[in-house]
């Protein structure tokens, strides 16, 4: 990443780092690390993954004893301050008889997603896998009695899908020494700048979180990545203990950007897409509606067009899109969300060359621009006015220009010194005539666009890289 580009990207991550309140990684560009780059190879090519938030919270699905909770479905225990003794009774009801892991993996494949990351333990502390260190798990505490992660790992292995595990290392509302449960166990930290820790946090980390991460890395075959989250009170030393477990147990497993010490790639804030490109590996975790865990009242699904745009936007800036689905307590991914994913998947079947393994835009003016005024966005950053009409991704000797709206005038290819060789639509290979006048090359896209959701034009040029 050039210095000019690194700074705004780093600034953009800062509010997130402040929010999680962690001894997080610095946002300065990191020195080249050959081992990390090797681990990251598949991740950089994959671009698009399925996030799955599934746990006991799918049973209340946003409503506790007639009371609707606001916000994220998986936060219901915290939002309504449900005592552990009440919340843990949900385990006795968890019986996902419609759970079909093969169908989930098939859906991810039909959607064009290249990896799956599922919640193994969210903040509520319930393990969706068999654990020797806590009986609060899907095998020992539910009538279902089966290890749902094992079944998913088997389905992924059978179908060649990479699988990673989300693990909430800090927050564990079920444990008296875990972070986050203030309603049963009091505050985590004292007042004032000293913020003295009031719980035996290391006892929780060593007694549950660390051994459970080790279990995940031992009992489920190759683990693509561990997705840590909300690193409260995660000092660098504590974070390093988790990193050591990962590296010593499965050296190829990636660590996301929310451990509390340096991971393999950067994680943006939820649903946040940076305004600019970066060549460092990064990922945007995102919802398909407005919750992660299933809520029965949230059907605010993003459209296939919105998702296709976000995916190409992210890829053109060098990132990955980890898009979430929230299965019901029965084990079903809501059909409306599955339909949206499959529609994007059909587009990717024809246009995936512009996405998988593609590089960042060599231009950047298509992203939009910072407002000249002193306006700020909701995160307090300088306001960026995004343009959503087209994006560019690259492969050696090729530009992929994806149009999300019909260009109203002949489209001007941004200035580059390479000789342009030819252009064609990616979907049907129909030639697109290039016209050069006074050093500017334009083309006119046939209207209506071949695919109104997004039409890709490939422009081939001499040489591998764009010279400006």
Specify burial of residue 426 (Cβ count, 10 A radius: 0-12, 13-18, 19+). buried
Shortest Cβ 183–ligand FHN spacing (Å): 17
Shortest Cβ 73–ligand FHN spacing (Å): 9
- C-beta of 142 vs 268, nearer to ligand FHN: 268
CA 316 from centre of chain: 16
- C-beta of 267 vs 393, nearer to ligand FHN: 267
| Cβ atoms 301, 269 nearer than 8 A | no
- C-beta of 265 vs 292, nearer to ligand FHN: 292
- C-beta of 215 vs 229, nearer to ligand FHN: 229
- C-beta of 63 vs 353, nearer to ligand FHN: 63
- C-beta of 16 vs 403, nearer to ligand FHN: 16
Distance CA 164, CA 184 (A): 31
DSSP for 223-285, written as a single string: --EEEE---TT--HHHHHHHHHHHHHH-TT-EE-S-SSS--SSEE-STT---SS--SS-EEEE
Look at strands 420-425 and 162-167 and give their pairing.
Answer: unpaired
Closest CA to 271 of 306, 227, 234, 236: 306
Shortest Cβ 23–ligand FHN spacing (Å): 17
Shortest Cβ 439–ligand FHN spacing (Å): 46
Q: How far is CA 399 from CA 406, 418, 458, in A?
A: 18, 12, 6
Shortest Cβ 98–ligand FHN spacing (Å): 23
**What is the four-CA torsion angle of 153, 157, 160, 164, rounded to 10 degrees?**
30
Shortest Cβ 158–ligand FHN spacing (Å): 27
Cβ-closest residue to ligand FHN? 285
Closest CA to 200 of 227, 226, 172, 228: 172
Shortest Cβ 322–ligand FHN spacing (Å): 8
Q: How far is CA 205 from CA 78, 85, 101, 109, 398, in A?
A: 20, 22, 30, 35, 49
- DSSP letter (8 states) at residue 447: S
- DSSP letter (8 states) at residue 199: S
Kindly give, in sequence order, each residue whose CB lies less than 8 Å from that of residue 468, ignoring residues fewer than 6 positions away.
362, 415, 416, 417
Shortest Cβ 316–ligand FHN spacing (Å): 22
- C-beta of 57 vs 347, nearer to ligand FHN: 57
Give me the residues that bind ligand FHN (CB under 6 A), please. 72, 74-75, 229-230, 270, 285, 292
- C-beta of 267 vs 394, nearer to ligand FHN: 267
- C-beta of 162 vs 258, nearer to ligand FHN: 258
At 134, is the secondary structure helix, strand, or coil?
coil
Shortest Cβ 173–ligand FHN spacing (Å): 11
- C-beta of 12 vs 75, nearer to ligand FHN: 75
- C-beta of 285 vs 319, nearer to ligand FHN: 285
Shortest Cβ 270–ligand FHN spacing (Å): 5
Distance CA 328, CA 323 (A): 17
Shortest Cβ 171–ligand FHN spacing (Å): 7
| Cβ atoms 77, 173 nearer than 8 A | yes
Distance CA 179, CA 263 (A): 21
Closest CA to 389 of 278, 313, 302, 283: 313
């Amino acid at each position: 990443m050039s210095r000019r580009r690194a700074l705004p990207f780093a600034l953009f991550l800062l509010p997130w780092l402040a929010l999680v309140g962690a001894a997080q990684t610095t946002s300065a560009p990191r020195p080249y690390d050959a081992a990390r780059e090797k681990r990251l190879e598949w991740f950089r090519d994959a671009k698009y993954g399925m996030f799955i938030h599934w746990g006991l919270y799918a049973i209340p699905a946003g409503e506790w004893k007639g009371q609707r909770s606001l916000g994220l479905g998986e936060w219901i225990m915290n939002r309504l301050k449900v005592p552990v003794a009440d919340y843990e009774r949900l385990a006795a009801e968890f019986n996902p008889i419609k759970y079909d892991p093969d169908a989930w993996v098939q859906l991810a494949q039909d959607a064009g997603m290249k990896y799956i990351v599922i919640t193994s333990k969210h903040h509520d502390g319930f393990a969706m896998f068999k654990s020797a260190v806590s009986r609060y798990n899907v095998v020992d505490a539910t009538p279902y009695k089966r290890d749902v992660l094992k079944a998913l790992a088997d389905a992924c292995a059978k179908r060649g899908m990479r699988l990673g595990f989300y693990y909430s290392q800090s927050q564990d509302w079920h444990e008296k020494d875990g972070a986050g449960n203030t309603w049963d166990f009091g505050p985590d930290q004292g007042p004032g700048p000293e913020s003295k820790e009031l719980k035996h946090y290391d006892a929780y980390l060593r007694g549950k979180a660390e051994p459970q991460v080790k279990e995940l890395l031992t009992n489920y075959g190759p683990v693509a990545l561990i997705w840590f989250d909300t690193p409260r009170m995660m000092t660098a030393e504590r974070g390093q203990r988790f990193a050591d477990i990962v590296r010593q147990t499965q050296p190829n497993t990636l660590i996301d950007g929310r451990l509390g010490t340096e991971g393999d790639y950067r994680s943006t804030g939820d649903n946040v897409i940076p305004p600019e490109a970066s060549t460092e590996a990064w990922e945007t975790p995102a919802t398909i509606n407005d919750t992660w865990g299933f809520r029965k009242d949230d059907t605010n699904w993003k459209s296939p067009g919105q998702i296709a745009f976000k995916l190409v936007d992210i890829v053109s800036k060098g990132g990955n899109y980890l898009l979430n689905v929230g299965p019901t307590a029965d084990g079903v991914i809501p059909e409306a969300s599955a339909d949206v994913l499959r529609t994007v998947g059909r587009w990717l079947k024809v246009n995936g060359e512009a996405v998988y393994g593609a590089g960042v835009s060599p231009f950047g003016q298509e992203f939009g621009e910072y407002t000249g005024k002193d306006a700020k966005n909701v995160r307090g950053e300088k306001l960026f006015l995004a343009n959503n009409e087209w994006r560019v991704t690259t492969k050696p000797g090729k530009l992929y220009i994806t149009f999300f709206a019909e260009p109203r005038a002949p489209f001007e290819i941004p200035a580059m010194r390479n000789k342009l060789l030819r252009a064609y639509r990616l979907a049907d290979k129909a030639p697109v005539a290039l016209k050069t006048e006074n050093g500017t090359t334009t083309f006119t896209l046939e209207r209506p666009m071949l695919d109104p959701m997004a039409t890709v034009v490939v422009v081939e040029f001499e040489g591998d890289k764009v010279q400006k």
